[in-house]
Amino acid sequence: MSNLDEIIKSRRDTRHFTSDAIPDEVIQKALQAGHHAPSVGLTDATKYYLIKSDEIKKAVKELFLDYDQKAANLTDDELQKLQYKSLKLEAIEEAPLGLVICYDRSVLNNFTIGTVGSNEAIKFSAVCAAQNIWLSLTEQGYSMGWVSILNYYQFKQLLGLPDNIEPLGYFCVGKPATNYDNQPMLQQLNWKQKQENPIVEEILVSTPVVLESLRGTKQSHSSDSIISEALQQKIDSKTKPTSSLGVLESLAKQIGTVFQTLEPKITNPNIVVFAADHGIANHGVSAYPQDVTRQMVTNFLEGGAAINVFCKQNNIALTIVDAGVNYDFPTNVNLVSAKIGKGTQSFLHGSAMRKTELDLCFAKGKEIVNSVFETGCNCIGFGEMGIGNTSTASVLMSILLELPIEDCVGNGTGVVDEKLIQKQNVLKKALENYDGPNDLESKLAYFGGFEIMQMAGGILQAKQNNMLILVDGFICTVAFLIAYKMNPAIKENAIFCHSSAEQGHQKILDYLNVRALLQLDLRLGEGTGCAVAFPIIQSAVCFLNEMASFESAGVNSRQL
């Protein structure tokens, strides 16, 4: 074949191969075609691994079979499940050669042309390379089959790939045993018909995005004074000296007022941990590399982190959200995908995100909280994970409270001495470099983090749903501060669970004129402060609902 159109039309996702060996020159020509594919910023981030070992092929096949069964269980009905199981979706052991096409995420550790809009551009380059290889093999009388039904985490471990190398999948390579009647195999087997023509639509009008969460947020009215007075009377009538339960009494009154009842009950409590990466982390502001975000999210999913332990201890549901981690997690893990991008850009020399992305953050945060609310949850805690996010939070605090950055910056993940001074200098320089508009929306987009803005949107929605809002440490309190600037009434629903070891945290609490429940020098994040404080919150509800009154116990209140 010499006509490009014919080659493109003849390319097939092949699942049936002959046992013919593949000449080395065929593979080399195909890989060279992949090398000629577009490469964002000429990074050469695409990597190739050849697999001829029967032992490795067998191990990859076992990974496929495990996930193939999970895929079958996701079908809509028994008939579809039978149809699915009848499909041949791989030829891992039959094909003479296995090819793993990967991309190297480590190129993002340095400035790379073409990745400012989307870090995924390096992955797109690898996909272009895969297509070139496919077309070259087709032209030479060979073909490829793409196997993506795998646990990618286990797949990487099996192949011994380093953390920064991400596979597109496993590709079976060989001489095709059939031409599938010159049509895609799934179409030939009547699984689905491919549309005859591409879907094309011209955009004629540019529609400006309005950040609804910053404009026109509904203000809540003050709680009904009648229920507040009734709660106070009920609290004072308990068999105890007046105010002797201290903070528990004010907690009980607050919770009863939020739920507008003398017998409040917390149902299906849930802590939501939002995770994302930050471009500013590439400037040495953290004691840990950016990839720790991905590692910790994996730890959350595997149940090994502090927040997992404390939630399990206190019977709290845990929701993990990928708000913008620089990693592609498997699609079947128990993770809420709300990824805006693979981390923000560095705000040292430019905007962390676009205003459209800021708008999307608020929308995603609200959507996530609504989905939690629909489970019957009336008490939601907010937590976060993201290397570099104390830097982002410090800058946002400096802007929101008009304080010098030195008064806002803390140790974060453990930055001390010269590294702390460097962190302060980097953030001070970033603030000095800003020459954009003076409105809050523009500054939030320029200096924001995906997880912080999703939390802010979520907090606003939690108030709209009249949920009890548990606020964790420094970063979550900055997210609360952003939401508070838009709707001060959210403070009525908020419980500030602890005052952290970050110097800026207590300053924000003082500004809000609120008192934290605990002082334990925590600075872990993850929502751990919410989980640890939860039993105290439950104690406030329990005494209000279950403790005897002077009248019911037959106790003379004048004797106390």
Residues forming the active site: 526
Partners of 51 in the β-ladder: 98
> Which helix (DSSP H) or strand (DSSP E) does residue 234 occupy?
helix 225-236
> Which helix (DSSP H) or strand (DSSP E) does residue 430 occupy?
helix 417-433
Residues contacting residue 489 through CB under 8 Å, at least 6 positions apart = 219, 220, 221, 222, 463
User: Which sign, positive or negative, has the C-alpha torsion 299, 304, 310, 312?
Assistant: positive
**AA letter at 260:** Q
Q: For the chain, what is the radius of gyration of the CA atoms?
A: 28
Structure tokens at 181: 């009647």
User: Which sign, positive or negative, has the C-alpha torsion 183, 189, 190, 193?
Assistant: negative
CA–CA gap between residue 477 and residue 337 (Å, rounded): 23
Partners of 17 in the β-ladder: 176
CA–CA gap between residue 7 and residue 17 (Å, rounded): 19
The strands making up 494-496's β-sheet, listed across from edge to edge, are: 336-337, 317-324, 270-276, 379-385, 468-471, 494-496
CA–CA gap between residue 383 and residue 532 (Å, rounded): 12
Numbers of helices and strands, H then E, in the chain: 20, 10
User: Which sign, positive or negative, has the C-alpha torsion 436, 439, 441, 444?
Assistant: positive
Residues 68 and 149 sit within 8 Å (Cβ to Cβ): yes
Q: What angle do CA 464, 468, 473 make, to 5 degrees?
A: 110
Residues contacting residue 123 through CB under 8 Å, at least 6 positions apart = 103, 166, 168, 328
Structure tokens at 266: 């917390």
CA–CA gap between residue 446 and residue 353 (Å, rounded): 6
CA–CA gap between residue 331 and residue 107 (Å, rounded): 24
Say which DSSP state 7 is in. Answer: H
CA–CA gap between residue 225 and residue 336 (Å, rounded): 39
CA–CA gap between residue 309 and residue 312 (Å, rounded): 5
First-to-last alpha carbon distance for the chain, in angstroms, is 99
Q: What SS3 class is residue 276?
A: strand
Nearest to 463 by CA among 494, 486, 418: 494
Residues 274 and 454 sit within 8 Å (Cβ to Cβ): yes
